Structure 1
């Protein structure tokens, strides 16, 4: 018996694989092709933390008692590789975190837009069809899609479907794809394919729509420098909270476009990992439904609140941080108050969430410790408003 974690060399995938391995006697198969490292390097980015090779990571994990962890290198967009992977390991669950995960990267040019959609959607289709054709339709398929599939509607976002009414008749339908980037749209297509695969193949599916993830690590990754997960801060792969933290550590003001009152959904890395691990290990009889959507978020946070929280926490590291409002170059509602349901996800993690302030304390601490790395790459995260 085994559990497969795809994208297991990534920011979310690696700590998820460690947590699952810590809680089960099943073998945990880590699958990756090194794509995230290549994509970040291609845009001049670098992780704040030093990232050991996957071979070093697995060896270090074994030293810390994770002797049920294995690594398989391969490209999930290659159907033959996926078929062999599933035939050999016959997993009870697949935690699918592998993807080109950056919206800005997918927007650079047509080549990267095409690559993002082909890579992400092909990998998911290969896994779903592979499970079906291998007779593994009882395998629990868990994918991290994204809350970005919802866009930014003016009404409260449900956890999954929406109710529509026409000519007096009502029904629940999948939420429409309102994604704002080629990356987010790849995940909208994935969500539709997950629903179809469940309907046609009866594969149990958990569609985990993951919010913006923040944090520098988990209990498992802090045990040894070789177990550290990555912490990106560049424009393409570093989320807004991490980019603000990098600006603060490098001695720049935190620039908020316009009012900055628009809210975005966030979730800590710790809570993300906990939710995925629980889904991977849940007893089949305890699954809420055979196809379930989770909004993996704990709260929506305004951009200006992110900046102000970092400024407050930064004082603990002797950082003198100011927040500046600059003219917004984007066409967006600077006061959009996103509301997003996440009761199902709260129940999954028993309502215990890492608060944003604690998460940013963790991020700032990691960046202060490696200030030289951050300052050496400031051209990768400074907004146009600070460049001169």
Structure 2
């Protein structure tokens, strides 16, 4: 049995590959083109937590955790011939597809990056889906981390699956309409539609895992050795809001709340995100969903103001003097939106939330204080601005 994890050098992909490999004797093959490192460099930033090179990571996984079943292959999923080779050689029983250009702000910089994001993300998914079908692997469980951003910000509760449409006495469940607000988020809307089509046409079992804003510096597997740490981005383009605020707190920079900040966003701890993906990857074929299943990978919505205030409060435990300041919002969004999102299916999958947001913040700050100088040296990356050479 073989399990394939794409984006295995990434923030979520790397700890997922480690978690999966640690729970099975089967071969776990990670795939990545390592472009995330280049994208972050192109906007003049770095991971706050230094990241080991890929070979060193794999060697450390075997040395520290005894994972001689984990390998990491370099390759581009937009190259159909590469995808066919990796699928035909390894014939995976499950694919966890976590590879993507994941940044909405990066996709919004200019037309070049919008085109790149859409080509990169959607071509990779299409290649994998068609590759499974044409290599007689339609029984392979395909798990993709899409995003809760495909929902936009509707003024009604978001279902975990389709939306119910009614016409007089008739009713049916239909795919949730794509209401995404960025060129990146639209790639995941298209992926969601293509996965549904692939299930209908090829009968591939699909788990569409709609990932919320993921926060945290480590899982037990990555925390065991510095060489195993996953990346932690904090810049405007690749750092999610909770990470950016924590980095600002550590460097003594005011936390930059855009607009009123009363809008609620869906959040999930890294540990809870990794656990769900591992559960799906390792599910017994007799027990896993054989249909097209949507999971809202979220534990709770939190307002941006509450995020900032929680980080400011916990920062006091570390002797940090943190200020919260409001700035004009560069994004077109409802700054008072009260998001409601169902997550019963995902909560059952992971057995409930592992940590509170406050506990997660405390763990992040505890890790980041060791990298205060590294963060402070790039505090100009907290806000959008002129990119460095190579980043336009």
1:16-39 deviation digits (Å, cap 9, x = unpaired): 000000000110001011111111
SS of the residue corresponding to residue 371 of structure 1 reads: helix
Residues 159 and 293 in structure 1, CA contact (< 8 A), matched pair in contact too: yes
Shift of 1:353: 2.7
Which residue pairs with 1:112 in the alignment?
A: 113
Residue pair 2:15, 2:274 contacting (<8 A) in 1 also: yes
Q: CA deviation at 1:252?
A: 2.0
Q: Structure 1: state its 5+ residue gaps.
A: none
Q: Deviations over 1:12-60 (max 9, x none)?
A: 0000000000000110001011111111111111001111110000001
Aligned to 2:24: 24
Shift of 1:328: 4.2
Map 1:324-343; keep pairs closer than 5 Å.
324-328=325-329, 330-343=331-344
Q: Secondary structure at the match of 1:213?
A: strand
The equivalent residue for 1:285 is 286
In structure 1, the residue matched to 2:57 is: 57
The normalised TM-score by structure 2 is: 0.96
Q: 2:69 and 2:277 mapped to 1: Cα distance? A: 18
Q: Do 1:298 and 1:353's aligned partners in 2 also have CA atoms closer than 8 Å?
A: no
Deviations along 1:315-343, one digit per CA (max 9) or x if unpaired, are 11100112233454544322110000000
Query: Post-superposition shift, 1:107?
Result: 0.5
Q: Which residue of structure 2 aligns with residue 237 of structure 1? A: 238
Call closer, same or farther: CA 1:275–1:365 in 2, change over 3 Å: same
Q: Counterpart in 2 of 1:380?
A: 381
Task: Give the 3 Å change call, closer, same or farther, for CA 235–328 of structure 1 in structure 2.
Answer: closer
Alignment correspondent of 1:85: 86
Is it true that 1:178 corresponds to 2:174 in the alignment? no
Q: After superposing the two structures, state which structure 1 stretch, 324-333 or 343-352, moved more.
A: 324-333
Instruction: Report matched runs for 1:254-293 at 5 Å.
Output: 254-293=255-294
TM-score by length of 1: 0.97
Aligned to 1:4: 4
Residue-pair matches, total: 384
CA distance in structure 2 between the partners assigned to 1:144 and 1:330 by the alignment:
24
- Superimposed CA distance per residue, residues 263-313 of structure 1 (whole angstroms, 9 cap, x where no aligned partner): 000001000000000000011221245110000000000000000010011
1:21/1:69 contact within 8 Å kept: yes
3-state DSSP of counterpart to 2:302: strand
Q: Tell me which residue corresponds to 1:41.
A: 41
Q: For residue 350 of structure 2, what is the aligned residue in structure 1?
A: 349
In 2: Cα distance, 1:369 partner to 1:329 partner: 31
Gaps of 5+ in 2: 386-392
Aligned CA-pair RMSD: 1.2
1:181-220 alignment runs, 5 A limit: 181-220=182-221
Query: Relative to 1, partners in 2 of residues 1:165 and 1:77: Cα closer, same or farther, differing over 3 Å?
Result: same
Q: Distance in 1 between matches of 2:300 and 2:262?
A: 14
Tell me the equivalent position of 1:369: 370
Aligned to 2:389: none
In 2, Cα distance between the equivalents of 1:383 and 1:227? Answer: 30
349-358 or 49-58: which moved more?
349-358
State the Cα distance separating 1:215 from its structure 2 match. 0.3
Work out whether residues 253 and 379 of structure 2, in 8 Å CA contact, stay in contact via their aligned partners in 1. no
Kept in 2, the 8 Å contact 1:208–1:294? The answer is yes
CA separation of 1:382 and 1:230: change in aligned 2, threshold 3 A? same
Q: CA 1:128–1:14 in 2, change beyond 3 Å: closer, same or farther?
A: same
Alignment check: 8 A CA contact 1:247 1:382 kept: no
Matches of 1:291 and 1:359, distance apart in 2: 32
